[in-house]
Structure 1
Amino acid sequence: MASTVTSNAAKRPGYGQLLRTPGAWGFLLPGFAARQPFAMLTIGIVLLVQHTTGSYGTAGAVAAVTGVSMALFAPQSGKLADRFGQRAVLVPGVLVHAASVSALTALALAGAPLWALFAAAVPSGASVPQVGPMVRARWAARLDGSPLMSTAAAFESVTDEFTFVVGPVLATALCTGVHPAAGLIAEASLTLFGGLLFAAQRSTQPAHGPHPGAGSRPRASALSVRGVRVLVVAFLGIGSVFGGMQVSLTAFTEEIGSPGANGLLYGLFAAGNMLAGVAVGAIAWKSGPRRRLILGYTALTAAASLLWSAQSVALLGALGLAVGLCIAPALITGYTLVESLVPASARTEAFTWLTGAVALGQAAGVTVAGRLADAYGSAAGFLVPLGGTALALVTLVALRSWLAAPASAPADTAPARGVGHRAPVAVD
């Protein structure tokens, strides 16, 4: 009887069971604070630089430099964390980030030339702590081979989306209600204190160094897995949604004379992400993750195609909520596929490639949407999410065979079932 109960529980792991994992709260709480840069940095830069220069295009360009810098350095941070340990990478990283963001803020307020803002934006983006991938790696280390791993993947995506509910709303409220620089000051402070507290949790840090059994073989990069390359392109599309929405919502609320509504609208968009993430983790999926990913991007592209036509806060809020509801399933499924595509020794790097892809897509989205909003208004900026998701969808459909798990996984691979799976399903 006891074995039957245990078996049934294992088939239906829930969030409550996951959160009772020993040591989990020790890295979850500080990790949440240290994730805020990804949600607050871009919007904080856009609001501050637009205030000091009067140009969305200039603001978007500075924000884009941080995004490109993060996208380029995030995978290297993941590699270093896999090799030397998370603490060794995180402590100097958060110190550099706090100093760089402080310098960028001071330069913007002083009316420094654009090249100086770019110079400060590079280290600000490069030093963004990769706490989300690090938390996922900690879950993977503690739950390796457990049915709870799929629940952890859903929980982490919900946490990411909740970050995008809290971060932009907080940054917007501080920038519009306190001081244009208050959003970036809060972002740097949360990063510093949250990152140091997270790094202090040594007992849950994954093992690092050469993976057992690897011998003298050079470890291949996670990007050498072709399925990861497809997911990188797909996540660029999601990043374009985040970037395009941030700039275009800001421009829209400025056009109608209600800049304070920006936080509300972006909060609705992010709330859709979070609600969908909770639902995805609770559903017993019968279809495979590859099919769900393509369907998710199809729905996301369809929802994004209507944004440009919104003429009121109510309609734009409803459309933003719909777009948000479509993002979380795509994100969660993409992260789930990593578990079956990539060896355990390279998963932190793989997660950072995806996180970096979102940042790069966000940077491109902010830049293009900023230029379009300056020239043609906010409606033109909303075309960016549509273009980015459509290109990602075409890539996924054309290269869907690359997302199949290898027939013989590497020895250190411990595939986890897709988010919400309660029984084995076909890949497709």
Structure 2
Amino acid sequence: MASTVTKDPRPGYGQLLRTPGVWTFLLPGFAARQPFAMLTIGIVLLVQHTTGSYGSAGAVAAATGVSMALFAPQSGKLADRFGQRAVLLPGVLIHTASVSALTALALADAPLWALFVAAVPTGASVPQIGPMVRARWAAKLDGSPLMPTAAAFESVTDEFTFVVGPVLATALCAGVHPAAGLIAEAALTLVGGLLFAAQKRTQPKVLPRGSADGSGPRVSALSIPGIRVLVIAFLGIGSVFGGMQVSLTAFSEEIGDPSVNGLLYGIFAGGNMLAGVACGAIAWKSGPRRRVVIGYVGLTLAASGLWAVHSVALLAALGLLVGLCIAPALIGGYTLVESLVPASARTEAFTWLTGAVALGQAAAVTAAGQLADAKGASAGFVVPLVGTVLALITLLTLRSRLSPQGGGGQGGGLIAARGASGMDHREPVAVD
């Protein structure tokens, strides 16, 4: 698809958002991508309220996250093959029904196994709106220098979602009803998902089955070494989100002020969003691979002090620092996908990364919940540290695979694919 953007020597956010037709999928897409940010904390708050156990709440949330991580790439693969609308319509309806069933079972004090049964389809059916929006940008801006700006914009949108989603879910659960967070999540999914699916003109064209770009074999995103490294890195990022959600909730309970949970998590997520805006506004001289590594080192160092902090002010400051360090790693990782993966597997690649965050979040919610129950909130904060350390070791050891040339036998083809689309994210981007 040819680019619909007029040439401008200074591409930036302003020009990006003036691209014809983009608001038709951006607005419903923003509403429909809230489930990823609201679902875990909504489950934790509701199940902890009905069972009195952070461990049980974390386990149910983890079942949802694992299910999402396993099914998200398959959803992305199906969207690449059959079109986004064909995947979204049944997915949105199944997700809404599954969340409703999980909420009703929790309020009815159903046994834990019943909650697990409902958690599986709840996670499996989470609409993969973020990856689908990224794929629409790629189709809309094929060959345009605005593609790096679009990648930064989407990452900032993700960060903003993590500011709005958890804070909204927490406020609804604390101020309205323990189930209000999940009810709002289901409603946003239904309305936003259906509106997003209705935008047929902007969805990427479906390429012929058995082809990557209409001329060669279809490439699986996970067969690319760089994507496998990024999956591990995003698992570590997920451990930060999950560990922070549970541990901040437990910390707020320990000090006798549950309402401070939303404030602390909002500061953490707000730092993430602000850093994302800055990353998109800076004309970087370094490439995204280096930014991923540097951001991850900073994230690991910041997460290392969480367990030792016992005051609200210090925890807010350190949480802000942790949030500031997440964005460079996330944005760099998503930007690398554009140069590592051909167009026919791009939605799948984005869903692998999204699924990795969900899986890391699920594991962290489980571990942090058990530790918080047994040893208190401080022990729960050890989980983000362990997750980031392990991922950082892997990232430093295998960072050469994040280069297109490091893709083994597929590298040359991927470089050619990138050249054909005119995309190179190593060039600095000026932003309005």
Q: TM-score, length-normalised on structure 1?
A: 0.94
1:170-319 correspondence to structure 2 within 5 Å: 170-210=168-208, 218-319=217-318
SS at match of 1:408: helix
Q: 1:15 and 1:198 mapped to 2: Cα distance?
A: 22
* 1:394 to 1:141, Cα distance in 2 relative to 1, 3 A: same
SS at match of 1:128: coil
| Residue matched to 2:19 | 21
| Residue matched to 2:91 | 93
Measured after TM superposition, the shift of residue 216 of structure 1 is: 8.0
Measured after TM superposition, the shift of residue 418 of structure 1 is: 2.5
Q: 2:288 and 2:37 mapped to 1: Cα distance?
A: 26
Measured after TM superposition, the shift of residue 85 of structure 1 is: 0.5
Deviates most, 288-297 or 209-218: 209-218
Measured after TM superposition, the shift of residue 309 of structure 1 is: 1.4
Measured after TM superposition, the shift of residue 214 of structure 1 is: 5.0
User: Which residue of the other structure, out of 412, 416, 426, is the alignment partner of 2:423?
Assistant: 416
Deviation by residue 1:277-308 (Cα, 9 ceiling, x = unmatched): 00000111111221111111000000101111
SS at match of 2:424: coil
Q: Which amino acid aligns with 2:197?
A: A
Deviation by residue 1:319-372 (Cα, 9 ceiling, x = unmatched): 111000000110000001111111111000000000000000000010000000
* 1:135 to 1:305, Cα distance in 2 relative to 1, 3 A: same
Q: 2:388 aligned with 1:389, yes or no?
A: yes
SS at match of 1:409: helix
* 1:228 to 1:403, Cα distance in 2 relative to 1, 3 A: same
- Are 2:212 and 2:219, in contact at CA under 8 Å, matched by a contact in 1? no
| Residue matched to 1:375 | 374
SS at match of 1:37: helix
Measured after TM superposition, the shift of residue 158 of structure 1 is: 0.5
Q: Which amino acid aligns with 2:283?
A: A
Q: 2:170 and 2:427 mapped to 1: Cα distance?
A: 34
Measured after TM superposition, the shift of residue 415 of structure 1 is: 6.0
Deviation by residue 1:214-252 (Cα, 9 ceiling, x = unmatched): 568541310000100000000000000000000000000
Q: Which amino acid aligns with 1:204?
A: T
Measured after TM superposition, the shift of residue 417 of structure 1 is: 2.9
Identity %: 80
Q: 1:210 and 1:383 mapped to 2: Cα distance?
A: 48
Q: 2:55 aligned with 1:57, yes or no?
A: yes
User: Which residue of the other structure, out of 115, 118, 141, is the alignment partner of 2:116?
Assistant: 118
Q: 2:117 and 2:383 mapped to 1: Cα distance?
A: 26
- Are 2:302 and 2:318, in contact at CA under 8 Å, matched by a contact in 1? yes
- Are 1:277 and 1:329, in contact at CA under 8 Å, matched by a contact in 2? yes
- Are 1:49 and 1:59, in contact at CA under 8 Å, matched by a contact in 2? yes
Deviates most, 200-209 or 213-222: 213-222
Aligned residues: 416
* 1:374 to 1:419, Cα distance in 2 relative to 1, 3 A: farther
Point out where structure 2 has 5 or more consecutive residues left out of the alignment: 1-5, 406-410
- Are 1:272 and 1:321, in contact at CA under 8 Å, matched by a contact in 2? yes
| Residue matched to 1:3 | none
Measured after TM superposition, the shift of residue 147 of structure 1 is: 1.2
Measured after TM superposition, the shift of residue 101 of structure 1 is: 0.2
- Are 2:37 and 2:166, in contact at CA under 8 Å, matched by a contact in 1? yes
| Residue matched to 2:71 | 73
Measured after TM superposition, the shift of residue 60 of structure 1 is: 0.2
* 1:261 to 1:419, Cα distance in 2 relative to 1, 3 A: farther
Q: 2:20 aligned with 1:33, yes or no?
A: no
- Are 1:237 and 1:361, in contact at CA under 8 Å, matched by a contact in 2? yes
SS at match of 2:404: coil
- Are 2:53 and 2:373, in contact at CA under 8 Å, matched by a contact in 1? yes
Q: TM-score, length-normalised on structure 2?
A: 0.94
- Are 1:223 and 1:350, in contact at CA under 8 Å, matched by a contact in 2? yes
SS at match of 2:154: helix
Point out where structure 1 has 5 or more consecutive residues left out of the alignment: 1-5, 424-428
Q: Which amino acid aligns with 1:231?
A: L
Measured after TM superposition, the shift of residue 409 of structure 1 is: 3.3
Q: Which amino acid aligns with 1:383?
A: V
Q: 1:265 and 1:309 mapped to 2: Cα distance?
A: 16
* 1:358 to 1:420, Cα distance in 2 relative to 1, 3 A: farther
Measured after TM superposition, the shift of residue 312 of structure 1 is: 1.2
Measured after TM superposition, the shift of residue 209 of structure 1 is: 3.2
Measured after TM superposition, the shift of residue 153 of structure 1 is: 0.6
Q: Which amino acid aligns with 2:424?
A: R
Deviates most, 127-136 or 142-151: 142-151
Q: 2:315 and 2:170 mapped to 1: Cα distance?
A: 18
Q: 2:13 and 2:30 mapped to 1: Cα distance?
A: 17
| Residue matched to 2:408 | none
Q: 1:206 and 1:214 mapped to 2: Cα distance?
A: 12
